[in-house]
Copies of this chain bind each other. A is one copy, B any other.
Amino acid sequence: MSQLHKLINKAEEFSAYESDQKHTWCSGCGNFGILNALKRSLVLENIKPQETLLCFDVGCNSNASDKIKAYTIHGLHGRVASLASGAAIANTKQKVIAMAGDGATFSEGINHLVHAVRNDYPITFIVHNNNNYGLTIGQASSTTKHDFAMNGSPDGVIPEPLNTLQFVLSFNPSFVARSFSGDIEHMTKTIQMALNHRGFAYVEIMQACPTFNKATPQEWYWDKIFDIQTIIGYDKTDIWQARKIVDSLDKDLAVGVIYEKSKPNFVEQLKNREGLGSELIDEVKSTSITGLLQEFR
């Protein structure tokens, strides 16, 4: 059954996610598609609004925080990876998804990204990479093309754009995927796979921003993307293959799951909580300390 067909059968579940709040994105903004794909994937995975905690950063992308009817947090700029990770490990039964822009992810909050990936906290992390700071009106981000005039950097930025996937692949991720905001079906599938990953699922969406990212408009991406599954013999568990495939930023942009490793996530590796079964949120109660006092007597 096609994705759309499945969704038609779940119209009610889908509409449970509809919020009354008006969207505030420019027309043609890639965020519409991402939000749609997010809802689709949640519905297709049979996850109800009540079962989620969607964590938003600050940026155009995160203005969705009240545009989807679910448990949400709209946190601080750059910090969402840590906020969401802290939430997720307190209750692994609640589905925690974090949403952030490229500004948040690779500038203000890059420390959180590196260490959340390394720790393999059990969340899905979706980067809306529109190659600029949308909400503050079009400044350059780490992914902005070199030499392209932006608000606040009329001469263009000096550094070459960060190769975000090469970067993430350098610190031992367990799941790295990429998709494109123009392709809702592909995004949906990709997010679904991320939702089924045990640990930190890094999903980067190349997001069109018609208002400020004139360098790479919608068509630019359509021209360059190709499904990684079309590469015969591509082994997504091979980090060197992954590194090679993501090397170019200007042509042949692979989409799909680029790298994946199956291993226990952070929570599953906590030695002192092995076999415990309960969640941190279930354990808050007055606890005897008399046993611990022995050494101080």
User: Residues of A at under 8 Å CB distance from B?
Assistant: 107, 110-111, 114-115, 118-120, 142, 155, 158-160, 162-163, 166-167, 169-172, 243, 266, 269-272
- Cα distance A271–B107 when bound, in Å? 23
Residues of B within 8 A of A172 (CB): 159-160, 162-163
Q: Is the CB of B171 within 8 A of A118?
A: no
Of B155, B160, B163, B271, the residue contacting A271 (CB under 8 A) is B155
- Cα distance A234–B222 when bound, in Å? 39
Number of copies of this protein chain within its complex: 2
Q: Is the CB of A118 within 8 A of B272?
A: no
Q: Is the CB of B110 within 8 A of A159?
A: no
Q: Is the CB of B167 within 8 A of A269?
A: no
Q: Is the CB of A159 within 8 A of B118?
A: yes
Residues of B within 8 A of A142 (CB): 115, 118
Residues of B within 8 A of A114 (CB): 110, 162
Q: Is the CB of B107 within 8 A of A158?
A: no
Give 24 CB contacts A-B under 8 Å. A107-B115, A110-B114, A110-B115, A111-B111, A114-B162, A115-B159, A118-B142, A118-B160, A118-B162, A120-B158, A120-B159, A155-B270, A158-B270, A159-B172, A160-B172, A162-B171, A163-B170, A163-B171, A166-B170, A167-B170, A167-B171, A169-B170, A170-B170, A243-B243
Residues of B within 8 A of A107 (CB): 111, 115
- Cα distance A172–B162 when bound, in Å? 8
- Cα distance A159–B243 when bound, in Å? 21
Residues of B within 8 A of A163 (CB): 170-172
What is the minimal beta-carbon distance from A159 to any residue of chain B, in angstroms? Answer: 4
The 3 A-B pairs of least Cβ separation, nearest first, read A170-B170, A118-B159, A155-B271
A118-B160, A118-B162, A162-B172 are known contacts; what are 17 more A-B pairs with Cβ within 8 Å?
A: A107-B115, A110-B114, A110-B115, A111-B111, A115-B159, A118-B142, A119-B159, A155-B270, A155-B271, A155-B272, A158-B269, A158-B270, A159-B172, A162-B171, A163-B170, A163-B172, A167-B170
Residues of B within 8 A of A159 (CB): 115, 118-120, 172
Residues of B within 8 A of A120 (CB): 158-159
What is the minimal beta-carbon distance from A208 to any residue of chain B, in angstroms? Answer: 24
What is the minimal beta-carbon distance from A134 to any residue of chain B, in angstroms? Answer: 20
Of B111, B158, B266, B270, the residue contacting A110 (CB under 8 A) is B111
Q: Is the CB of B158 within 8 A of A119?
A: yes
Closest chain B residue, CB of each to CB of A270: B158
Residues of B within 8 A of A266 (CB): 158
